[in-house]
Amino acid sequence: MDQEETKDTHLFTISELADELDISTRAIRFYEEKGLILPERTKGNHRVYSKRDRTRLKLILRGKRLGYSLEEISEMIGLANFNMDETEQLKKTYAYGKKKLREINERMLELQILKEDLLAIQAKISNRMDALNIHATKKRS
């Protein structure tokens, strides 16, 4: 299949998608193995991907970047339940978003506490180093 034919039929090769999305062909095959995308096959048994597959890959990558599991992503893009209508799908995605924001806020609070603890330890160490430097200077005099 030549590139002109691919553009005309809105189909993409695995290498075209990998290049466009900056991921490996192995990653694309992995998502196929997990049932997240379902490419067609040519007579020569080569994978060809539709615009829908391309869109799903983009959603999968966005979901992974935001920290969602593949199972959560599958549910949000409607693969886990083929009977889910758009309203249910949006509600599910919204609920996952709220949960993820809650997790992020909790993690931010934990990190703020950790930062404060580290700053306090550094202050104590700095004070002790200053005291030792002063003590060392007095001994030399």
With a cut of 50, say whether residue 7 has pLDDT above it: no
pLDDT bracket for residue 9 (50, 70, 90)? low
Q: Considering only residues 33 and 3, tell me which one the structure prediction assigns the higher pLDDT.
A: 33
* Mean pLDDT of all residues in 114-127: 96
pLDDT at residue number 5: 45
Question: 129 is written with which tokens?
Answer: 């180093």
pLDDT at residue number 93: 87
pLDDT at residue number 1: 46
Can you tell me the distance from the alpha carbon of 19 to that of 11, in angstroms, rounded to the nearest whole number? 14
Instruction: Give the domain 1-67 fold.
Output: Multidrug-efflux Transporter Regulator; Chain: A; Domain 2 (1.10.1660)
pLDDT at residue number 117: 97
* Mean pLDDT of all residues in 29-54: 91
Q: Which of 21, 101, 86 is nearest to 53 (CA)?
A: 21
Name the average pLDDT for the chain.
86
Q: What residue spans define the domains of the chain? A: 1-67
* Mean pLDDT of all residues in 91-120: 94
How far, in Å, are 107, 126, 127, 135 from residue 115 at the CA level?
12, 16, 18, 30
